[in-house]
Structure 1
Amino acid sequence: MRLGLRSKFWLIVLLAVAVCGGIGFVGLRQQIEGMEEISRIGADAISEASQLSEQRRALALAQMLAEAIINPIYYFDLVQIGAAARSALRQPDVAYVLVYDAEGRILHDASPDIARFGQRMGDEMATAVMVAAEPLVQMDERVIDAAVPVTLGGERIGGVRVGISRQVPSLFEKQVLASIQTGMERWRDRMQSLIGMLLLGLMVSILLVALLISRGLVRPVQRLALAARQMEQGNYAVEFLTPSRCDEIGELEDAFVRMGRSVDRHDRDIRRLAFSDALTGLPNRVAFRESLNARVLAAERDGHQLALMFIDLDDFKRINDTLGHDIGDEVLTQFGMRILNATREPDDGHVEVARFGGDEFVVLLHGTEVRDRASRLAQTFLAQMRQPITVGGQSIVLAASIGITLYPQDGAQPATLLKNADIAMYRAKLDGKNCLRFYTRDMDMVMEREMQLEQDLHLALDRGELSVVYQPIHSLQSGRIIGAEALVRWNHPQRGPMATELFIAVAEQTGQIEAIGRFVLKVACAEAATWPQVDGVAPFVSVNISARQLRQGALPDLVDAELRESGLPPARLHLELTETMMFSLEQEAIGACARLRAAGVRIWLDDFGTGFSGLSHLRRVPIDGVKIDRSFVSGMLDDADDLALTAAIIAMAHSLGIVVTAEGVESQGQFDALEARGCDNLQGFLLGRPMSAADLVRELGG
């Protein structure tokens, strides 16, 4: 006769009634002990949280004040410093505010008369404050002291200290702890009374009922619960549930085993689809984030280090645009295999590779000596990039920018590490691409400034903030102005005149240089067309050309359109290409320069002498003139080598029938030396600074 679970249950219930009180007593005792433990933990947590909250508040207040008084400290504006300090002092529980200079002398103490002005900070915390390069929080029995150094341009110019009284947080902690203790005592008294009543009638049958429940129901249910927890955590192998019973419990165990096997098969299929990149077969972004989270937790527990490497292919869009997306996909596949193979050879296996999306790949190194291992691995990647990839019968050479960040030095959270690695990669792109950069904390501020500068530069043309000025070029033979170089200037509405090399570098990296180049060419052609003649000859205008403009291939057409629109004769337009650009893009340069010269435009080689060009290069590339780099001109009177090189450049150019212009002439000695060596033209502050078109016309005598 088969006795079902329902029948067994009702038989056991008859005995279970008597044992409920005992079970309740044991459970209640454990609850009381647990609540007491929770009370102790809660007390400690409240105290720690209260202190941590006040520390964070003090540090946040100090950081806000430090950011507000950077310029006032730099300009020694005590009024602004005092206003900011008094504003901070009015915050609740703030005991003091001190603003000090780089030597630790007090600039302001938030008092109306600055009673401590010029005094050194002599308290116990001052020593640690002065040597700290990063924000610092200290505390004693009375106050929580937060100190933040104030830096400008990487140099420490002072700092801020904010002290918050610990009296109010301490009083709050005592009140909360007293309330918790009172509640615990009332709860314990009620539970003890209940236990006393239950024990009177339930002690006799407690052992027998506990044994029956344990053998008949509790143990099987515990095993099923354990199997359910393992399946919830992703472990579907519940083979330890070997069914041996003939009742409903046995059937349930058998169902659990079969369900685990089925879910395990489906889980493997789903994970393969959800966590693998369909193109390269590498783990995808979702899988990598899970792995990174797990590695960070393990590293925090074991004290290990991590290195996160962010790899982005340089100019990959050009491959998709010119060769098609199918070729681009094959390139990404082969590139992913190269990364994977490179991680297997020199390392010890503690490396994970994933495709993060598009042309971005990530590599995670864990274990020891991760910085050196990451540097070596990145160098291996860059070296392998020099080996062409053959796809569809075409040989493609790739380049990549690599950013690396370290745990725990650079950040303790996965999201922070990803952000820092991305910032370091972007820094590598700004530094010329095809290189690696380790994250540093000052990159955050630099990147923020550059991103803001990039956004402002996008709007500069539309707002009319860009202008063109002209630096005269003088002929040594006639002593008159024969032309002028067009130079772009940016007058920022908030920052004022911007350094040209700063915003031009950003424009080169972001592609905005094309729009700026078109603007300068248009303005220069239009204004030069109105310049008066000098000795019967109208001066020329020279315009600098960027590598991006030359690479696009549309430069001759653009120049032709601007010449026709402005009416400027082609012979009066000189285009300047740097020596490095000319010979790194030699084929594009030769084709573009040949078309331009055929139209009558003159081609000049700028910064000559810095690119180590040989005579054979000058013979192949069609040019009309060279400009000796200012670095040679500035050193020619003090350095015999610079003087010899300058003379050699002049002689070599003249032997090829090429006109020579020296730029950066700032002294009479440089003028005389260049004149003695037969230089044709001069340009520099000695002869004329950059000026507006109207001023240049007056210089020309118009």
Structure 2
Amino acid sequence: MKSGSGLYIRFLAALAAAVLAVLAVVVLVLHRQEVMRNEVLALGQESMHALAFDRLAERSEAAGMELAASLVNPLYYFDLEEIGVLLRATLKQPDVAYAVVYDNDGTVIHDGSRDIRSYGQVMDDAMAFEAVTARAPHIQASDEALDVAVPLYIGEVRLGGLRVGYSLASVMADEQRAANSMGQRLAIIGQRHAGWIATLMAGLLLLAVGLGVLVQRTLVRPVRQLADAAREIEAGNFVAELPASGRTDEVGDLMRAFGRMRESIARHDRDMRRMAYTDALTGLANRLAFRESLDRRLMELHGAGRQLALLFADIDDFKRVNDTLGHDAGDEVLVQFANRIREAVDRLGGAGSVLARFGGDEFVILVESVGSDSADMREQASHLAETLVAELSRPIVVGGRQVFLGTSIGVTLFPDDAAGATMLMKNGDIAMYQAKVAGKNCHRFYSRAMDQAVERRVSMEQDLRGAWERGELSLAYQPVYRLEDRSLVGAEALLRWHHPEHGMIAPSVFIDVAEQSGLIETIGPQVLRAACADAVAWRRDFPASNLFVSVNVSPRQLRNGDLAALVDHTLAQTGLPADGLHIELTETAVIGDELRVSSLLARLRDAGVKVWLDDFGTGFSGLSHLRRVPVDGVKIDRSFVADVLRDPDDLALTTAIIAMAHSLGITVVAEGVEKEGQYDVLRERGCDLAQGYWLGYPMNVHDFRGLLG
């Protein structure tokens, strides 16, 4: 009995030990399964978070750079309406929390709202400093948002920057939902297997081992494979192999869901790439795509003896379309232009040609030669450029109206002109500018001399800055006489520049530089104040003279819209009566925006200031402006006056201008009177006023006062 009892007890002990061992194994297995589940869940959540965040960052940066490229021209011209349109379009995109354009000091220029509620406010949030000081696209993130800052440059000049904020709430919510779903499904699987093990744990140790193997094969390995695939997808490999998804359980659902997620991410990546590399309006490649294509092509051709031609095309006077017909019509013009360029490039550019819209009304074309002869490449590029100029000169019908535009094209060759993409683009831009200078609607090839011309222009622009303060700029006055009795009635103020090294600079040269660089917006008001102050001195020292002074206003000053306020302030500051000031505008400055200009000129005339139309007869529509633009006088261009004694046509045209103007109650002034016969003919035809070398040369203020005394 004792022996049996001992054996029984030992059996019971062994049985108990076996049960305890099985229980320990079961507990250990269950514990290990829980640890594994948590590891898998953490790994999956980490991979999904990294993947989603990186995709959002890449998408946000690409979208920000594309938007920044569209904002450069509007910001350069301070076009708040266009900036607002672009920002509001961005704010409508999913997850965009804010979109702000700011200047170099971090002051808000536009926030996308229609009333620009934060205009002029300095950005002071935690991420503002890094955004304002960034010199390249910069991404930073907080717990709530992803901030993309892109500086806006025109050339090498930084105009300001763009900030776009993407809310992370939806990303975090998606991650949490996916993690919860994965956790729940893993928990269900774990509970199911745990229940199965608990039911069979009385002596089914081998089955428990088999169950562990089963779990490893049916759960852990697929999830690890999913994690490996997630890392591949994170690295950009969207064709990473996934485990077979023929299973019908939760793991199968998870694998199929992961597959759908991969396809969705791949589709969104393709969409983002298409958006990042395609111009939305014309469907052409955009600046980013073209630059990458150019860099790749140059790398392939280095040392290969092949030639490339880059054509930089810019639509002439395109702003006139937007100003007169509206931006919708402007977009339609761009689309038609793009189609014409595409057809010409497809026909003449060859198989390796690339066409892109570089921004605004600029297009770039890359053409590759079939051989190594640079002469053949030059001939091919010249033929394509001539064809484009001809094709784009044909009228475009928009809204039932014909629009006539031209195109200036700059052509540069690789490797003759440059060996790198940056210099090649710069040379193409320089050549295009020279085509503009040459009269527009033509093409020019880049040459070294163009670089020198650009350097001279840049040097002149630098010297022109501060020239007024240094006393280099001064005013000369050309007297204006009444033809009827040859009495002095006023003077035209003319700007002169005496450079300390180069002497006198022709006004036609430096005024164009001032206009193009924007310096005219600083020099113009200074000229106006000085001329008004001199006129006040004439009237004070010679009360009987009652002379007026006429001041030329540039098209750029006219476009700014604050000319009336500037004139009011200047008259109040100097004390000159309004009737003592005549404002002169060129006819071409009025063309294209007559409605707005008419309103501006009406304000000046209501204040008592006289408005004259300068260089009359050289514009596009001549006398038709006199019906639509409120002016007090017209100045007959000197080209008509020069030949009134020889050319019957010029005499007839001058006579018609005088008669038409008088019928509308408008004063007529003749420019360029250099002979007595011209003076007599104009007086006989009833011309009111005249100026020219025969009557008096431009003179400094001291000599002009001598005419009065």
Question: Helix, strand or coil: the match of 1:562?
Answer: helix
The amino acid that maps onto 2:685 is: R
1:410-449 map, 5 Å: 410=417, 416-430=423-437, 436-449=443-456
Change (3 A) 1:561 1:319: farther
2:588 is aligned with 1:580 = yes
1:597-608 map, 5 Å: 597-608=605-616
Distance (whole Å) between structure 2 residues aligned to residue 335 and residue 463 of structure 1: 47
Change (3 A) 1:278 1:566: same
Match of 2:630 in 1: 622
2:575 is aligned with 1:570 = no
Change (3 A) 1:578 1:329: closer
The amino acid that maps onto 2:640 is: F
2:699 is aligned with 1:699 = no
Match of 1:470 in 2: 477
Match of 1:559 in 2: 567
Match of 1:379 in 2: 389
Question: Helix, strand or coil: the match of 1:643?
Answer: helix
- 1:340 offset after TM fit, Å? 5.2
2:601 is aligned with 1:593 = yes
- 1:360 offset after TM fit, Å? 5.8
CA RMSD of superposed structures (Å) = 4.4
Change (3 A) 1:333 1:297: farther
Match of 1:288 in 2: 293
Asked if the contact 1:551–1:588 (Cα under 8 Å) also holds between the matched residues in 2, the reply is no
Change (3 A) 1:582 1:307: same
The amino acid that maps onto 2:653 is: L
Distance (whole Å) between structure 2 residues aligned to residue 330 and residue 654 of structure 1: 41
Distance (whole Å) between structure 2 residues aligned to residue 380 and residue 632 of structure 1: 31
- 1:593 offset after TM fit, Å? 1.4
2:465 is aligned with 1:458 = yes
- 1:376 offset after TM fit, Å? 4.4
Asked if the contact 2:308–2:368 (Cα under 8 Å) also holds between the matched residues in 1, the reply is yes
Which has the larger displacement, 677-686 or 364-373? 364-373
Asked if the contact 2:350–2:368 (Cα under 8 Å) also holds between the matched residues in 1, the reply is no
Change (3 A) 1:612 1:363: closer
1:653-668 map, 5 Å: 653-668=661-676
Change (3 A) 1:274 1:596: closer
Change (3 A) 1:437 1:510: farther
Match of 2:516 among 509, 515, 521: 509
Asked if the contact 1:312–1:359 (Cα under 8 Å) also holds between the matched residues in 2, the reply is yes
Change (3 A) 1:413 1:425: same
- 1:318 offset after TM fit, Å? 12
Match of 1:309 among 285, 295, 311: 311
Question: Helix, strand or coil: the match of 2:693?
Answer: coil
Distance (whole Å) between structure 1 residues aligned to residue 495 and residue 700 of structure 2: 11
Match of 1:277 in 2: 277
Aligned length, in residue pairs: 429
- 1:278 offset after TM fit, Å? 6.7
Q: Deviations over 1:482-528 (max 9, x none)?
A: 00001111111211211111111112222222222212111111211
Question: Helix, strand or coil: the match of 2:481?
Answer: strand
Q: Normalised by the size of structure 1, how large is the TM-score?
A: 0.53
Distance (whole Å) between structure 2 residues aligned to residue 409 and residue 441 of structure 1: 11
Asked if the contact 2:308–2:366 (Cα under 8 Å) also holds between the matched residues in 1, the reply is yes
- 1:446 offset after TM fit, Å? 1.4
Distance (whole Å) between structure 2 residues aligned to residue 411 and residue 317 of structure 1: 31
2:405 is aligned with 1:403 = no
Change (3 A) 1:461 1:413: same
Distance (whole Å) between structure 1 residues aligned to residue 312 and residue 338 of structure 2: 13
2:557 is aligned with 1:549 = yes
Question: Helix, strand or coil: the match of 1:679?
Answer: coil
Asked if the contact 1:378–1:436 (Cα under 8 Å) also holds between the matched residues in 2, the reply is no
2:506 is aligned with 1:499 = yes
2:638 is aligned with 1:633 = no
Asked if the contact 2:386–2:442 (Cα under 8 Å) also holds between the matched residues in 1, the reply is no
- 1:467 offset after TM fit, Å? 1.3
Question: Helix, strand or coil: the match of 2:642?
Answer: helix
Match of 1:479 in 2: 486
Distance (whole Å) between structure 2 residues aligned to residue 448 and residue 542 of structure 1: 34
Asked if the contact 1:551–1:585 (Cα under 8 Å) also holds between the matched residues in 2, the reply is no
Match of 1:7 in 2: none
Match of 2:351 in 1: 349
Distance (whole Å) between structure 2 residues aligned to residue 550 and residue 385 of structure 1: 28
- 1:314 offset after TM fit, Å? 7.6
Change (3 A) 1:318 1:288: farther
Q: Deviations over 1:411-465 (max 9, x none)?
A: 5665553332121123245456676433234212211211211221223234332
2:707 is aligned with 1:678 = no
1:143-292 map, 5 Å: 277=277, 282=285, 284=289, 286-292=291-297
Change (3 A) 1:626 1:656: same
- 1:571 offset after TM fit, Å? 0.8
Q: Deviations over 1:289-323 (max 9, x none)?
A: 3333146447x53xx543211245789999999xx
Question: Helix, strand or coil: the match of 1:309?
Answer: strand
Question: Helix, strand or coil: the match of 2:468?
Answer: helix
Match of 2:539 in 1: 532
Change (3 A) 1:431 1:565: farther
Distance (whole Å) between structure 1 residues aligned to residue 622 and residue 610 of structure 2: 21
Distance (whole Å) between structure 2 residues aligned to residue 690 and residue 680 of structure 1: 20
Asked if the contact 2:308–2:413 (Cα under 8 Å) also holds between the matched residues in 1, the reply is yes
Structure 1 spans left out of the alignment, 5+ residues: 1-235, 237-264, 390-395
Change (3 A) 1:331 1:616: closer
Q: Deviations over 1:124-177 (max 9, x none)?
A: xxxxxxxxxxxxxxxxxxxxxxxxxxxxxxxxxxxxxxxxxxxxxxxxxxxxxx
Match of 2:39 in 1: none
- 1:615 offset after TM fit, Å? 4.0
Structure 2 spans left out of the alignment, 5+ residues: 1-236, 238-264, 370-375
Asked if the contact 1:400–1:434 (Cα under 8 Å) also holds between the matched residues in 2, the reply is yes
The amino acid that maps onto 1:599 is: A
Q: Deviations over 1:19-71 (max 9, x none)?
A: xxxxxxxxxxxxxxxxxxxxxxxxxxxxxxxxxxxxxxxxxxxxxxxxxxxxx
Change (3 A) 1:286 1:500: closer
Match of 1:365 among 364, 367, 370: 367
Match of 1:523 in 2: 530
Question: Helix, strand or coil: the match of 1:461?
Answer: coil
Which has the larger displacement, 544-553 or 356-365? 356-365
The amino acid that maps onto 2:694 is: L
The amino acid that maps onto 1:594 is: A
Distance (whole Å) between structure 1 residues aligned to residue 533 and residue 650 of structure 2: 38
- 1:326 offset after TM fit, Å? 14
Match of 1:119 in 2: none
Change (3 A) 1:385 1:592: same
